[in-house]
């Protein structure tokens, strides 16, 4: 777990983290809710909330042994948060008496939980007395063992019968801070040297990536303001090279015409522009997220045509000229980036997969006619579910005789630096889960 700011009273951090946990349980994204937390509290609250969400299945199973029915939502969130800390394997994050004392203090200092303070105190003290037996009993509950909803466990097991346990285990690990060096301004080796001079331990990953040995504020790294690097997972760094590989500029030396559909916040847009002199159109439906694209490109010294529009309705934004290459980073369940967003597993519902798969199919259908014969479209999702990857593309190719599926990475399963099996891929390091398919349009 990230270092928690101990100069701030623990009870105060527990209150904030419990509020985030309750927000997720009520269906709200933790990313958005975290913005409401005071800046001074945010690092510690986020670290505690991330820990709670990674072990929420176990905590829920333990709470079920302590009481016959859940207490009110505010009290339940605080109790389950404390249980994830009390049940943590390895070296305890807090001394047991400190954790109980500060949790009860957090309950007493909130109007919503004050009347439940004695109840929470009793539950925690009972767990500390009977922890061995309770933890052993929880091992019979799959949700407690893997800390995912049962439907999610079943789906991953069905889609990846040989690797489902490793996938779920990787989801509960900590994601590294991975950088992509801007090749227009530096090289990976040169920037590694700059980091070493600044006392920042890091190592090379993927083709052009750098992983920091410990997370730290990005804006404090050397060269941030100058645009020497961007933050991007090693798996995500595959998108731009896959699209550009084999694409040739048009006649008379005209630049490539590229489309980045669903582009926000602009990481892959920037990577494409770093690697190729291209006329690039970046589309995203959210106008505020389009501003993020503009800000990110400006820092890197890059430019693109940015439009707030529905990529699936080309008649509202397309100028009628074919694209040489299209990157479709389609909306998905985000089931491949759970270690970075541990709330995703608790926010998603089984019906979301079919709804998102339908949206992905609509985008593919709408964008394919915009690609010139001989051009290429890269379809990607940050998902491990086959309905959003392999099955989606198989169906598309079956219904489009002019679409050729070229050798593609397919499903990249999330990999952690924690001990365990390494899935075969060409990244040689840890990364999030993705799906990549490279489609070429046959010439008539």
Positions marked catalytic: 382
- Per the listing, tokens 């105060």 go with 12
Residue 74 token pair: 């505010």
Could you tell me the maximum CA-CA distance found in the chain, to the nearest angstrom? 78
- Residue 16 has a CB neighbour count (10 Å cut-off) of 24
Residue 189 token pair: 């080796």
From the list 255, 253, 254, the residue with the least C-alpha distance to 276 is: 255
Helix (H) or strand (E) holding 260: strand 256-261
> What is the C-alpha separation between 405 and 50, in angstroms, rounded?
38
DSSP string, 335-385: TT-TTT-TTHHHH--THHHHHHHHHHHHHHHHHGGGEEEEEEEEEEES---
Residue 240 token pair: 């731009």
Contacts of 232 (CB under 8 A, 6+ apart): 178, 179, 180, 209, 267, 271
In this structure, are residues 412 and 435 in contact, taking their beta carbons and an 8 Å threshold?
Answer: yes
Q: What residues are paired with 327 via a beta bridge?
A: 260, 378
Cis peptide before 265 (omega within 30 of 0): yes
Helix (H, G, I), strand (E, B) or coil at 185: coil
Distances from the Cα of 410 to the Cα of 152, 189, 319, 321, 436, angstroms: 20, 29, 32, 30, 5
In this structure, are residues 332 and 356 in contact, taking their beta carbons and an 8 Å threshold?
Answer: yes
Could you tell me the sign of the dihedral formed by the alpha carbons of 280, 285, 291, 292, in that order? negative
Distances from the Cα of 308 to the Cα of 261, 263, 272, 358, 359, angstroms: 11, 10, 19, 21, 18
- Residue 231 has a CB neighbour count (10 Å cut-off) of 15
Task: Outline where DSSP puts E strands in 13-126.
Answer: none
């Amino acid at each position: 777990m990230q270092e928690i700011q101990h100069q701030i009273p623990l009870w105060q951090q527990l209150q904030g983290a419990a509020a985030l946990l309750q927000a997720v349980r009520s269906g709200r994204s933790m990313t958005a809710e975290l913005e409401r937390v005071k800046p001074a509290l945010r690092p510690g609250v986020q670290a505690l909330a991330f820990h709670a969400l990674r072990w929420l299945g176990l905590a829920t199973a333990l709470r079920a042994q302590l009481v016959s029915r859940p207490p009110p939502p505010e009290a339940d969130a605080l109790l389950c948060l404390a249980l994830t800390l009390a049940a943590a394997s390895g070296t305890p994050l807090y001394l047991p008496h400190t954790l109980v004392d500060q949790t009860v203090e957090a309950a007493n200092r909130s109007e919503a939980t004050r009347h439940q303070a004695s109840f929470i105190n009793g539950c925690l003290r009972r767990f500390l007395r009977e922890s061995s037996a309770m933890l052993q009993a929880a091992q019979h509950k799959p949700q407690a063992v893997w800390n995912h909803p049962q439907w999610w466990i079943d789906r991953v097991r069905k889609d990846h019968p040989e690797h489902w346990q490793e996938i779920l285990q990787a989801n509960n690990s900590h994601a590294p801070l991975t950088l992509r060096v801007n090749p227009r301004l530096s090289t990976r080796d040169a920037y590694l040297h700059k980091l070493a001079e600044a006392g920042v331990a890091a190592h090379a990953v993927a083709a052009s990536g750098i992983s920091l040995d410990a997370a730290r504020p990005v804006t404090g790294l050397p060269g941030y303001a100058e645009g020497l690097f961007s933050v991007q997972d090693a798996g995500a760094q595959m998108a731009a090279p896959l699209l550009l590989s084999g694409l040739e500029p048009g006649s008379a030396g005209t630049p490539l015409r590229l489309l980045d559909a669903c582009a926000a916040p602009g990481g892959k847009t920037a990577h494409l522009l770093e690697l190729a002199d291209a006329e690039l159109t970046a589309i995203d439906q959210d106008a505020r997220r389009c501003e993020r694209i503009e800000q990110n490109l400006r820092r890197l010294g890059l430019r693109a045509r940015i439009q707030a529009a529905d990529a699936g309705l080309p008649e509202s934004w397309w100028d009628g000229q074919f694209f040489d290459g299209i990157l479709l980073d389609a909306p998905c369940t985000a089931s491949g980036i759970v270690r970075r967003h541990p709330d995703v597993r608790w926010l998603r519902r089984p019906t979301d997969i079919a709804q998102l798969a339908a949206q992905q199919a609509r985008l593919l259908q709408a964008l394919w006619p915009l690609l010139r014969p001989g051009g290429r479209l890269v379809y990607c999702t940050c998902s491990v579910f086959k309905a959003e990857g392999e099955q989606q593309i198989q169906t598309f190719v079956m219904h489009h005789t002019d679409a050729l599926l070229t050798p593609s990475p397919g499903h990249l399963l999330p990999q952690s630096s924690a001990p365990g099996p390494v899935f075969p891929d060409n990244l040689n390091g840890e990364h999030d889960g993705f799906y990549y398919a490279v489609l070429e349009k046959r010439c008539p």
